[in-house]
Structures are given as structure tokens and as C-alpha cells.
Amino acid sequence: MSLLTSNPAAAAQVLFSSSATQMHDIGAQMVTPDGRKFRYCKAGATALVAGKLQQAPAEVTGDQNLTAVAAAAGATTVVSTSTVTVTANQYAGGFVAVSVTPDVGRLYKIKSHAAFTAAAPTFELEDALQNAWTTSTRFDLIANPYNGVVVNPTTATSMPVGAAIYNIAISEFGWLQTKGVANLLADGTVTVGTALVASNATAGAVEALTGVQAAVGNAVTGIATTEYGAVFLTLE
């Protein structure tokens, strides 16, 4: 069994498992002694299947470019006058990204929030605002990329985040591999030593570099199409 460590803590949830109980922070990183990296994730609306590339939850454009309510530097609560529909803590562990000044370029981790279906959504932050906000400030809500992962679709709706190493059940928790030698499905013949990207024809697969899809790693071996083979992931 592979040993997971995190300088120096041991993992509460073993590598090859699916759990209905959350045992780590979403996105927590662990490494094996051989240098493979893993991130703790929550499966989305479909189960994760071992050997398939996974994507972060789909971008929600309606939760971007939100109009801010003025807030003082040092505040740990931010409010918008924009209308959004979110479930309780949908964005917890994710981020507020300030896209229009004042305070442009800042990124704040979201601690918690209630459910909202109208204007005035309020978000509690883990860190205080570095600069005052005005009604000119605009911000985006960014989900934790490991919270609600899905099989990487043929048309990207977010970014690839890792390879499933175990069949994690719907809405359950487990580990996703992000770096090092992994076993992944090939779409088309893969040549040893070549760069690989997310497939745009077979969900969850990788294919030879096209220059269009997201890069995910390099082929450790040649892989016949529709078969699984060794890929060195370089997602982080």
C-alpha cells in the first residue's frame, strides 16, 4: 500500500478508498515517497472512475463580475448587490477574486456563506480585505477546483485537475492524482515521450498534443487507442 505523508502528518483516509465522511480539507495535498502528488476531492454528480481524467466543477458565469457593497479595509465579510443563486457553502473553500478596482488583483478564501436566491449575498472570508471596497469594485466567485469534480468532458467547462485512482462514489470523498506516473485512458495512439492533452473526443481520456486542449502531462510509454497506459502527470 502506498504511504501518504504531508510533511510529516499521515493521511486519515487511505489512498484507494471512497468515504461518505470528509476527513481532510478539500484540496489538501499528500505525496508518496516516490514523489507522486494527490489532492483530496469531493466527487460531483457522477462517480469517479479509475483511469479517467477529471475536471474542476464547471464555471458559472452568472457568479462573476458581481457588484460589491462598499466595505472597509480589514473587513472579513463582503456583500454584493447582484442577484445570485447558490446553495449554502457552495463556494466555501473557494475564493473571491477581485476583478475591477478598488482592490483589484486580490484573492480571498471563502470561509462560509448561507444559501441565496436573490440580491445581497454575503460571504465570510478567512482573511481580511487588504484595501477598502467601493461600489465600483467587482468580484468573481471561484469554486474550490477539487469540490465537485467530474469526468473531464469533451468540451471543456473548466480545467483538468487530476486522474481518478479509485472509483469514488457520487458526492463522496477521496484522492485524485495530480503529479507523477498515473494510468490513464488514451484516445488515439499515444507515442512514448510525447506531450499529452485532454481529449476533445472521449470524455476522461488523453490524446497527443494538439495545441488547443489543456496540457496534462507526457507519455511514459506508448499506449494503443482505447487502452490505458502510463502518463506522467504535470498538473502541478
C-alpha cell at 139: 468580484
pLDDT interval class at 61 (50, 70, 90): very high
Confidence label for 89 from pLDDT (cuts 50, 70 and 90): very high
**pLDDT surpassing 70 at residue 226:** yes
pLDDT exceeds 60 at position 7: no
The average pLDDT across 4-14 equals 71
- Average confidence (pLDDT) over 93-111: 97
pLDDT at 119: 75
pLDDT > 90 in the chain, percent: 92
What HEC string does the chain produce? Answer: CCCCEECCEECCCCCCCCECCCCCCCCCEEECCCCCEEEEEEECCCCCCCCCEEECCCCCHHHCCEEECCECCCCCEEEECCCCCECCCCCCCCEEEEEECCCCCCEEEEEEECCECCCCCEEEECCCCCCCECCCCEEEEECCCCEEEEECCCCCCCCEEEEECCCCCCCCEEEEEEEEEEEEEECCCECCCCEEEECCCCCCCEEECCCCCCEEEEECCCECCCCEEEEEEECC
Q: How far is CA 104 from the centre of its chain?
A: 23
State residue 4's pLDDT score. Answer: 61
Q: What confidence score (pLDDT) does residue 29 get?
A: 93
Q: Which tens digits make up the pLDDT trace of 103-157? A: 999 999 999 999 999 878 999 999 999 999 999 999 999 999 999 999 999 999 9
Torsion of CA 168, 27, 212, 51, to 10 degrees: -30
pLDDT of 1 > 90? The answer is no
Q: Considering the entire predicted model, what is its pTM? A: 0.91
Instruction: Please tell me the predicted confidence (pLDDT) of residue 118.
Output: 80
What is residue 99's predicted lDDT score, i.e. its pLDDT? Answer: 98
Percentage of the chain exceeding pLDDT 70: 96
